[in-house]
Amino acid sequence: MTLPVTGPALLPLGIVFGFAFGWLLQRARIADTNVIVAQLRLRDYTLFKVMLTAIIVGGVGIFFLHSGGLAAYHVKPANLAAVAVGAVLFGVGMALYGYCPGTGLAAIGTGSVHALIGAIGMIAGAIAFAFSFDWIKATLLPIAAYGQIRLPDLTGIPDLVWLAAIAAVGFAALFVLDGRRHV
C-alpha cells in the first residue's frame, strides 16, 4: 500500500478516523457544553488538559514522522489580521454556542439538539463567508500576511525545544490552576 492513501480508498478511512475522533471527544467529556463553558469560566480545566496533551503527543510524533519523510506539514498561512479578527469572532461565537465546531458535531451524536441548531448556524456562517470572500480577500487577507511560517523558522529555536517548553509551561500552569481547586 502506498501512503498517503488517495482516491476512493480514502473514503472509508474518513468514517473510521471521524468515528475515532468523535469517540475520543465524548470520552474526554468535551462533547458536553457544561464542561466547555466551565473551562471558559476557568472552573474546570478538562478542555485545556485534552488539548495540551494532544498538542504535545501529536507534535512530537509529527516531528519525527516529518523528519522521516512520512508526513507532510500543512501549515495555515499567517495572514495575521484575518487570523486576529477571525479568532475574536470565533471566541464570541464559542461562548454563545458553548461548543467549538468539532465538539459541537460530536455533541449532536450524544443527543444535543441545540448543538444541531448551532451546526445549522455554522452552515449559514460558511455561506456568508463564501459570498463575502472576494471582499475579504481584497481587504483583510493581505494585511500582515507572513505566509506559511512556523515558530522554529521564525525564531531559530529547534522544534523539540519548542515542544518541551510548551509542555513544561503548559503542564505547570495546569498543575497550579487546577490544583488550586483541590486545596
Partner 1 sequence: MSASTDITTHAGVRGMRIDWTPYVMGAGIGVLSWIVFVFADDPLGVTTALSAVAGFAAMPFTGADAVWHNSYWAQTVPSLSYGSIFLVGVVLGAFAASVAARQFHVETVPAVWRQRFGNSISLRFGAAFVGGALEMYGARLAGGCASGHGISGTLQLALSSWAFTILMFGTAILVGSLLFGNAGDRR
Give the one residue of 18, 67, 143, 164 binding partner 1; rule: CB under 8 A: 18
Q: Least distance from C-beta 157 to partner 1, angstroms?
A: 10
Q: What element of type H or E holds 86?
A: helix 80-97
With binding defined as CB under 8 A, does residue 170 bind partner 1? no
User: What is the torsional sign of CA 14, 64, 169, 157?
Assistant: negative
With binding defined as CB under 8 A, does residue 164 bind partner 1? no
The C-alpha atoms of residue 149 and residue 128 are separated, in whole angstroms, by 28
Q: Is 158 helix (H, G, I), strand (E, B) or coil?
A: coil
* Alpha helices, H only, 28-79: 33-40, 46-67
Q: Least distance from C-beta 91 to partner 1, angstroms?
A: 3
The C-alpha atoms of residue 19 and residue 12 are separated, in whole angstroms, by 11
With binding defined as CB under 8 A, does residue 93 bind partner 1? yes
Between 142 and 148, whose beta carbon lies closer to partner 1?
148
Give the one residue of 67, 139, 164, 183 binding partner 1; rule: CB under 8 A: 183
Q: Least distance from C-beta 99 to partner 1, angstroms?
A: 8
Q: How many residues does the chain have?
A: 183
Site for partner 1 in 103-142 (CB under 8 A): 103-115, 117-131, 133-134, 136-137, 140
